[in-house]
Structures are given as structure tokens and as C-alpha cells.
Structure 1
């Protein structure tokens, strides 16, 4: 894993399979988080499979959902296959409430 962004307890890491987020995702860092992940996605080879792991995101945050949707768009623009999105239990509930579960290949925490 390599660090793409580390700020105020928030960490974005990239590995062979995709992006991993840990910590509090607030609006103060959402743009930088979205940009760092999108830049990493743009550097992948078209046709690659990627996943997003947000199981380590603390609390419920619509900012995290905004970042997630931006990454999904970036993956699509880069011709990547989004295989799996893993969420913490609070994010899963927010995603379900927002009706996004139909748009993304989601897995709840612990699956």
C-alpha cells in the first residue's frame, strides 16, 4: 500500500486492487480526497478491475458519498471495471437511505 493522502487522521491508500480510506471524511478534505483518488484511477490501465474500501471510515458522512461517486465516475472515464465497494455499517445505511445501493457494487462491512 502506498499513501496518496494523509491529513488530520484521514488516510487514503492505494494498493494493487484499489483505494482504501480510513478516518473521518469531512467536507474540509473531501475535494483533496476525491482528487487524489481520481488521479490514481486515471493512471490505471483501461480494462483493469478496481475496488474501493471505505470500511475504515468513521461515522456517517455525505462527504464520503460524494467522494465515492466522484471515484466511480473517474473509474468509468478511465475505462476501469469497478468490482466492489466496501462500506462501514454507518456508510452502508446512509448509502441505502440515499438510494445509491442500486448504482454501485456494494458490500456492507463484514461481508
Structure 2
């Protein structure tokens, strides 16, 4: 789970922390990435998400769902990255 701002100043630490957690999960486990609380989308947040996907793949984990905030969902679509993700659920903003 990631929330708040995932800017460039904290992206490396966030990616490392998430990968550390992923590497502790038993191989073959199912995981969900929840970025629905990321209120400011940036390419740094996308980089973190992609690094987590790479770590999950290396650990042979199954990412069954990715939850994105509305801003992050729009940025993911603009970057053409949605096809790289498993089932995506975007939070809608009113």
C-alpha cells in the first residue's frame, strides 16, 4: 500500500521498501498493489510501481490486482502502461 505523494525525493526508498517486502513473501503467493491513496501522480510513482512488478516477477509472485488513484490511473493510461498491469481498479474522483 502506498499513499500520499510519491515524488522523486522518496521514490527510491519506497521502491526499495516495497521490494524488500515482496522478497519476504513465499514464492507463488498472490499480491495486490494498492496505490489508490497516491494523491499526486508523477512518473516517480509509475517507476515505483514498475519496480515492484519486476521484484514480484523475480520472486515468482502473482500480482492479481493493481489499485490506482484517479490521477495515477490517468497518468498510467497516458503513458500506455495499462497493458503491463494485471487487473486494474481505478478510484473514481467526484
TM-score range, shorter chain: over 0.9
Segments of structure 2 that go 5 or more residues without pairing to the other structure are none
* Higher fraction of helix: 2
Runs of 4 or more off by more than 2 Å in structure 1?
Answer: none
Q: Which has the higher contact order (CA 8 A, sep 6+)?
A: 2
Task: Indicate which of 81, 85, 92 corresponds to 2:66.
Answer: 85
* Higher fraction of strand: 1
Aligned CA-pair RMSD: 0.8
**Number of residue equivalences:** 91
Give the TM-score taking structure 2 as reference length: 0.94
Segments of structure 1 that go 5 or more residues without pairing to the other structure are 1-19
Report the Cα distance in structure 1 between the residues aligned to 2:79 and 2:3, rounded to whole angstroms.
22
Task: Indicate which of 55, 67, 80 corresponds to 1:99.
Answer: 80
